Chains A and B, each alone.
Chain A
Amino acid sequence: MTIRFVGAAALGGLVAVLGACAPAQATPATQPRPASSPATARDTTRPAPGAGAVSAPNADPFPSTYTAPTSRATIIRDVTILTAAGPTIRNGSILLRDGKIAAVGTTVAAPADAEVIDGRGKYVTPGVIDDHSHLGVYAAPGSDALSDGNELTNPVTANVWAEHSVWPQDPQFPRALASGVTTAQILPGSGNLIGGRSVVLKMVPSATVQGMKFPGAKYGLKMACGENPKRVYANRGPSTRMGNVAGYRAAWIQAEAYRRRWDKWNADRQGDAPQRDLGLETLAEVLRGNILVHNHCYRADEMAQMIDIAKEFGYKIRSFHHGVEAYKVADRLAKEGISASLWSDWGGFKMEAMDGVRANLAMVSAAGARAIVHSDDPSGMQRLNQDAAKAMAAGEQIGIHTTEDEAIKWFTINPAWALGLDDRIGSIEVGKNADVVLWSADPFSVYARVDRVWIDGAPAYDRANPSSWWRTDFELGNVPLPTGGK
């Protein structure tokens, strides 16, 4: 634990690459597009500058290459379905077809060629979503060679992108999948005030990170409050919390000037293009609303200050992460529409984590804010359902009752919202991506195991069929298949 957090202090990556593609086209952030869009549509007299010279909103220079595999229709019958969109469906059925949830309810007709799965005694939930993971950027086995999550060379490294650190052969990916996680946000670490861009990945095997990227997902920006940055930069500054705040504000002041410069140039194309700056470009995209802010912040008082900073510069905080004191300002979070990404019961490992309480999630949820159970940890990531169960029980003890229908949202639709993907994933509703988990029992029981997982309707994990398990290249010859005895 101690070691973990010393390491976590070092977390904070930065990525500095903004690709630029088609500047003048209004491209929805959600659409991946080739990196080579013409940047010079209006001016045919000059040679086109390379797309990389231009700072364009919603550029996508490292586009996803993921495509959903074709799959046979699948129906799970006689199963209990926690939908994250309404009441539990008992003895229900769910049909997955063409990558989508095609039907759900108590009576569902299946095509003749569909695989039929008997779900008696079992549970179906949406694919689990973890909005705080460092898989791939802090890959296993832990070593300096694989420690790529914190670019600790400057307190503001908005220029770095987590995806450029992701090792697709991290053996932690298949373990996340086998525990029901279908989507995860991979963040830079928390060693910097502004750590860089996150990336949203599907838990699918691929030789490249592009092959894992969730098509059309918005980027996130990692920011961090408190102890970590001031410890990492104690010698050069910021070395205090007030230094931290001065650092955020200075960055946003620059970013706003940059945004104005480029928005003007992109609109009128008069004169030389301004010089592109990868870090300011990422921050400008936050100011334009194209990138979502994920703010590591433990203490209630610091959350309140970060909210004021966001208002000062005109951006929104999408989620406070590790908010062990979120319960102290849950009403404020609800009012501001900021989600809280939380552990059930971590705390105590440093001063700013002292006031962690187990009912945090339940208290935040009861106050009307979006509660999210997150991991920041490759092991905890495999048990977000159990974390939710612990928080439900702790809430119960202080008189806050949380239903399973509500708690299921903590690791499905609520993190989907935090990632801006709630229109595609996070609930069992017709038309949504068929990211589905079949559990051996109620997922809020300690004894529940994940039996099967589908991503976009395609079988991704089947506990009963070890030969089908995803094993990363690293595992071959190194890691024994966990079946049988010695």
Chain B
Amino acid sequence: MRDGKRTAESGRRETAGGKGRLACVFALGLALVVVPTIRAQTVAITGGKVYPVSGPPIENGTVLVRDGKIVAVGANVAVPNGATRIDATGKWVTPGLINALTGLGVIEIGAVPATVDRSARGDSGVAAAFPVWEGINPASTLFAPARNDGITSVGVVPTGGLIAGQAALIDLVPGTLTEMIGKAPVAMVAQFGDPRSGGSNARGEQYTRLRELLEDARTYSRRRGEFERAQTRPFAARRADLEALVPVVEGRLPLMVNADQASDIDAVLRLARETNVKLIIAGGAESWKMADKLAAANVPVIVGSMINIPQSFATLGSRQETPALLRRAGVKVVLIANGSGGEEVFNVRNLKYDAGVAVAYGLAWDDALRAITLTPAEVLGVANRVGSLQPGRDANIVVWSGDPFEFATRVEHVLIRGREVTQPSRQDELMQRYKTYPPAYRKP
């Protein structure tokens, strides 16, 4: 399914930072932004209650889309002749939702290993070079349900080990991986605390290893020539892993660390300060205890709203008010689906309900919408393209029959890069087949 010529045919390519790279370019280290060609088309979504997220809601607003991009948003936008109109009167219009932490496309059936490509074997728990997106299967049956429920982009995040690998952001546009990739990598993913990972037996050992890896990557980046001539001391990781960590130590690629226990988050904050890396905390079960420190360090937290159970000794302080408490302290909050029903894969679509539950537990409604649109886009470095309804942004837009967080609300339209993308999912086909007895497929 994958298009091997992705880099060659990409219309635009930008590196995560660009400075100081050697000519020897490892695909691993590149950030790709691919904008496929879209035929000229103008779409006007009119009459709806528009939530640009980047600005205040607009009653009876219009969103104008041309060639896959938003060109105007407002109450007084002239609709050109010939535009395809979507009447959103009485409807709500929002940016497409972004679920920042998923295994979509790299897990089809969790218990069938042949369909699981989310965790690398790595080298003693280090898989920094692992580009999880290379395993994404665009033919996954799980994209359509997510898309049909208003998710337009997801973070595909590797798991396992001390350093799990590199995450990507993909748009759920039907097509090849080349067309889907929004940006890769968007973060380096690591894990600290419990469970013990990558051959480490204690938190202090994890700390030391992470620090050593980051320091070695920094040294490596300055001494590549000597390294190639075997004139350096041994490093703590393989060359490809060190290379992948260079953008992290240069501050061009955030380090997303899964950490739950308050003391683990504290340790990771210390590590990030000492090594000068840009940090994102994910998981964050007890992050509410560290809210002030996280705010002061300007570290965003990727967190859910569903879990209030002390599932492990690292999450004794789990509570559903965490998103609200973090926001109150000024922390950037990215909401993810963290309920219990396979919400990183099969039920990625449930993100909107997690947002609703976060509101029930004290998060302001506007903050909840931002936490599943613009904030994840900012945190993953793609806010210039997705996450809000502003001129120049990709036209990733959802039209809802009402409040997006409510169960009874229907998704009316989903546009990704200006194109309607809803289509019956495998689940829809099954339901259609069996909604009558005897099943329709047995009827003459």
Contact = CB atoms under 8 A, between A and B. Distances in A.
A447 B356 contact: yes
Interface string B341-359: 1111111001001001101
Contacts of B328: 485
A211 interface: no
A396 B142 CA distance: 21
Interface string A219-249: 0000000010000000000000000000000
Interface stretch (B76-84, B249-257, B378-386, B406-414): B406-414
Given A392-B407, A397-B410, A444-B408, A349 B339 contact: no
B316 interface: yes
Nearest to B354: A446
A356 B360 contact: no
Interface stretch (A98-106, A265-273, A327-335, A418-426): A327-335
A447 B308 contact: no
A296 interface: no
A479 B307 CA distance: 14
Contact of B289 (A140, A343, A351, A486): A486
A42 to B, nearest CB: 53
Interface string A379-401: 11011001001101110111110
A348 B356 contact: no
B36 interface: no
A475 B308 CA distance: 13
A430 interface: no
A359 interface: yes
A276 interface: no
B288 interface: yes
Interface residues on B, range: 35 or more
A486 B407 contact: no
Contacts of A274: none
A347 interface: yes
B309 A447 contact: no
A346 B111 contact: no
A172 interface: yes
Interface stretch (A1-9, A62-70, A122-130): A1-9
A380 B432 contact: no
B67 interface: no
Contacts of B111: 2, 5-6, 227, 349-351
A142 interface: yes
A72 interface: no
Interface string B297-324: 0000000001111111101110111000
A379 B306 CA distance: 7
B439 to A, nearest CB: 7
B404 to A, nearest CB: 10
Contacts of B307: 379
B340 A345 contact: no
Contacts of B344: 1
Contacts of B434: 327-328, 363
A465 interface: no
Given A346-B347, A347-B342, A398-B435, A142 B312 contact: yes
Contacts of B310: 140-141, 171, 475, 478-479
A175 B307 CA distance: 10
A475 B342 CA distance: 27
Contacts of B306: 379, 383
Interface string A417-456: 0000000000000000000000000001111110000000
A485 B410 CA distance: 35
A347 B407 contact: no
B197 to A, nearest CB: 14
A195 B439 CA distance: 34
A482 B321 contact: yes
B109 A354 contact: yes
Contact of A386 (B290, B321, B407): B407
Contacts of A378: 309, 340
Given A380-B341, A446-B360, A349 B346 contact: yes
Contacts of A140: 309-311
B142 A486 contact: no
B112 A350 contact: yes
Interface string B231-275: 000000000000000000000000000000000000000000000
Nearest to A485: B325
A355 interface: yes
A348 B313 CA distance: 29
Contacts of B435: 327, 359, 363, 398-400
B72 interface: no
Given A378-B309, A379-B309, A446-B356, A363 B431 contact: yes
Contact of B309 (A171, A354, A389): A171
A141 B407 contact: no
A115 interface: no
Given A351-B112, A357-B430, A486-B288, A367 B407 contact: no
29 contacts: A1-B110, A1-B344, A2-B116, A141-B310, A141-B315, A143-B313, A327-B431, A327-B434, A328-B439, A346-B342, A351-B111, A358-B427, A379-B340, A380-B340, A380-B341, A386-B353, A386-B357, A389-B408, A390-B407, A397-B410, A398-B435, A445-B406, A446-B357, A446-B359, A446-B405, A480-B316, A485-B329, A486-B290, A486-B291
Given A5-B111, A359-B435, 11 more contacts: A141-B313, A348-B142, A349-B346, A350-B112, A378-B340, A379-B306, A382-B308, A383-B306, A389-B408, A480-B317, A486-B290
Which 9 A-B residue pairings sit nearest by Cβ, starting from the closest? Answer: A446-B356, A350-B111, A389-B407, A348-B346, A2-B110, A482-B319, A1-B342, A379-B340, A349-B110
